[in-house]
């Protein structure tokens, strides 16, 4: 039994006990564990509980036909992945096509030959096994990329003087959103947030270079516009025409009580200043598109108790709204004020949940909050 379990488990659904007995003998001899059911509903229930590696399904059964059972199997997320082979006396091409359209992988016609049954089962089981191995290998690689990407992101506890908190929800194991924070001492800190076009592995490879670029161009006394401009020139040289990114850079001088920010086509920063919340709008071209792009600076005063929020457009897209829509902006500002008295680490989590709900995001989401 241990060897059979290692080879695979097959569920045979047939209203004829003799057919089940024959198939049990054939497949058991070939090394498979065999379970059985005498009708469609029983077969569906066993498929859900046993999760076999394959289902051999008779078409002509009293009550619920095999076609109906197959449709239910493929319509249930718990059993949709299980390959189905029909075994039937129906030899017309239209019947075979109907079964394949329902998601079956093969068709064996009665009366069947023992060698044919075993060969077809083994072929599809091997294919399924190879497919699973490929998926597992890809998941491992993606997990390694995810871990590498996460290791690039500075943690709030590693830089307490920066007084920031972040909530990051990537769509895939590797995302296209990136942030970084640099403290220069003397109360001066720079915050950078970017969103690379797309959210696939290609986007994640670009994000891995952003940390080096930001730290190369950000330094004490440099304006956020100078930082973005320097990064843009390099990105134009190393990226293809199809790749670009929006970005925002916020610089704080806590001793002087001043902030300055520049944007490269990025959603506006939210400023919770003097007890009210407002969008700090400033225009600018995305990075990586035009080498001679120029960036303006928006400056203002700030005081202890004020906050800033930087975010990516996924915060809006996961609500079904545009990041530029008034409905989204109003919702975000309202959420900001609602969490004004909350600790920053709790506020960023609460705001993301309020904006996106509990559903898996359709686009990467980053919300980075900063306490003055």
pLDDT digits (tens, 9 = 90+) for 172-222: 544 578 899 999 988 999 999 998 875 444 445 566 678 888 998 998 889
pLDDT on residue 142: 46
pLDDT on residue 136: 56
Do 28 and 98 share a domain, yes or no? yes
pLDDT on residue 144: 47
Do 173 and 129 share a domain, yes or no? no
Q: Which residue has the higher pLDDT, 88 or 149?
A: 88
- Compute the distance between CA of residue 368 and CA of residue 249 in angstroms, rounded to an integer: 12
Do 163 and 139 share a domain, yes or no? no
Average pLDDT over residues 258-280: 96
Do 344 and 278 share a domain, yes or no? yes
Joined together, the tokens standing for residue 167 give 């909530």
CATH of the domain at 75: 3.40.50.2300
Which candidate, 343, 363, 359, 360, places its Cα nearest to that of 165?
A: 343
pLDDT on residue 356: 81
Do 167 and 271 share a domain, yes or no? yes
Joined together, the tokens standing for residue 287 give 């990075």
Domain span holding position 157 = 152-371
pLDDT on residue 207: 67
Do 203 and 262 share a domain, yes or no? yes
- Compute the distance between CA of residue 71 and CA of residue 260 in angstroms, rounded to an integer: 60
Do 157 and 139 share a domain, yes or no? no
Do 200 and 328 share a domain, yes or no? yes
201 φ/ψ angles, rounded to the nearest 5 degrees:
-65, -35
pLDDT on residue 5: 46
- Compute the distance between CA of residue 230 and CA of residue 253 in angstroms, rounded to an integer: 21
Joined together, the tokens standing for residue 293 give 């792009």
E strands along the chain, which residues? 9-13, 33-37, 54-58, 84-88, 106-109, 164-169, 177-185, 188-196, 245-253, 258-264, 269-273, 276-280, 298-301, 307-311, 365-371
Range picked from 1-10, 44-53, 162-171, 317-326 for highest mean pLDDT: 44-53
pLDDT on residue 140: 52
pLDDT on residue 139: 47
Do 125 and 19 share a domain, yes or no? yes
Do 184 and 133 share a domain, yes or no? no
Final residue belonging to a domain, choices 143, 167, 182 = 143
Q: Which residue has the higher pLDDT, 288 or 110?
A: 288
pLDDT on residue 14: 93
Place of tokens 């080096």: 212
| Statement: residue 2 has pLDDT above 70 | no
Average pLDDT over residues 3-25: 83
Range of weakest confidence among 108-112, 250-254, 255-259: 108-112
- The CA–CA distances, whole Å, from 326 to 172, 268, 316, 323 equal 29, 13, 11, 8
User: In the structure, what pLDDT confidence band is assigned to residue 3 with cuts at 50, 70 and 90?
Assistant: very low
| Statement: residue 228 has pLDDT above 70 | yes
User: In the structure, what pLDDT confidence band is assigned to residue 297 with cuts at 50, 70 and 90?
Assistant: very high
CATH of the domain at 364: 3.60.40.10
| Statement: residue 331 has pLDDT above 50 | yes
User: In the structure, what pLDDT confidence band is assigned to residue 244 with cuts at 50, 70 and 90?
Assistant: confident
Question: pTM value?
Answer: 0.62
Do 78 and 167 share a domain, yes or no? no
pLDDT on residue 232: 93
Write out pLDDT tens, residues 140-170.
554 444 555 556 688 999 999 999 999 987 7
Final residue belonging to a domain, choices 122, 143, 164 = 143
pLDDT on residue 60: 86
Final residue belonging to a domain, choices 84, 112, 143 = 143
pLDDT on residue 95: 64
User: In the structure, what pLDDT confidence band is assigned to residue 46 with cuts at 50, 70 and 90?
Assistant: very high
pLDDT on residue 4: 40
Please give the share of the chain, as a percent, with pLDDT higher than 90.
48
Number of domains in the chain: 2
Do 49 and 123 share a domain, yes or no? yes
pLDDT on residue 247: 95
């Amino acid at each position: 039994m241990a060897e059979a379990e290692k080879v695979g488990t097959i569920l045979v659904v047939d209203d004829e006990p003799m057919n089940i007995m024959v198939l049990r003998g054939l497949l058991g001899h070939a090394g498979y564990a065999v379970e059985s059911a005498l009708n469609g509903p029983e077969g569906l229930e066993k498929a859900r509980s046993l999760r076999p590696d394959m289902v051999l399904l008779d078409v002509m059964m009293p009550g619920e036909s095999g076609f109906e059972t197959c449709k239910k199997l493929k319509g249930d997320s718990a059993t949709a992945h299980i390959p189905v082979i029909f075994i039937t006396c129906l030899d017309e091409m239209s019947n075979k096509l109907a079964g394949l359209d329902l998601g079956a992988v093969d068709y064996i016609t009665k009366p069947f030959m023992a060698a044919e049954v075993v060969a077809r089962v083994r072929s599809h089981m091997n294919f399924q096994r190879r497919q699973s191995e490929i998926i597992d290998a890809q998941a491992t690689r993606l997990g390694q990329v995810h871990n590498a990407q996460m290791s690039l992101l500075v943690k709030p506890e590693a830089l307490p003087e920066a007084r920031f908190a972040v909530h990051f929800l990537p769509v895939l194991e590797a995302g296209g959103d990136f942030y970084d924070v640099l403290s220069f001492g003397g109360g001066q800190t720079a915050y950078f947030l970017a969103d690379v076009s797309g959210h696939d592995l290609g986007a994640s490879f670009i994000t891995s270079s952003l940390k080096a670029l930001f730290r190369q161009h950000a330094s004490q006394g440099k304006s956020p516009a100078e930082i973005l401009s320097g990064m843009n020139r390099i990105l134009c040289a190393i990226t293809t025409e199809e790749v670009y990114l929006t970005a925002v850079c916020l610089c704080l001088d806590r001793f002087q009580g001043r902030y300055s920010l520049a944007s490269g086509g990025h959603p506006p920063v939210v400023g919770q200043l003097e007890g009210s919340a407002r969008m700090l709008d400033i225009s600018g071209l995305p990075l990586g598109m035009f080498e001679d792009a120029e960036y303006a600076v928006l400056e203002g005063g700030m005081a202890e108790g004020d906050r800033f929020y930087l975010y990516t457009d996924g915060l809006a897209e996961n609500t079904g709204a545009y990041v530029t829509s008034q409905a989204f902006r109003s919702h975000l500002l309202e959420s900001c004020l609602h969490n004004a008295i909350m600790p920053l680490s709790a506020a960023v989590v609460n705001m993301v949940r309020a904006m996106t709900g509990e559903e898996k995001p359709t686009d990467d989401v980053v919300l980075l909050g900063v306490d003055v």
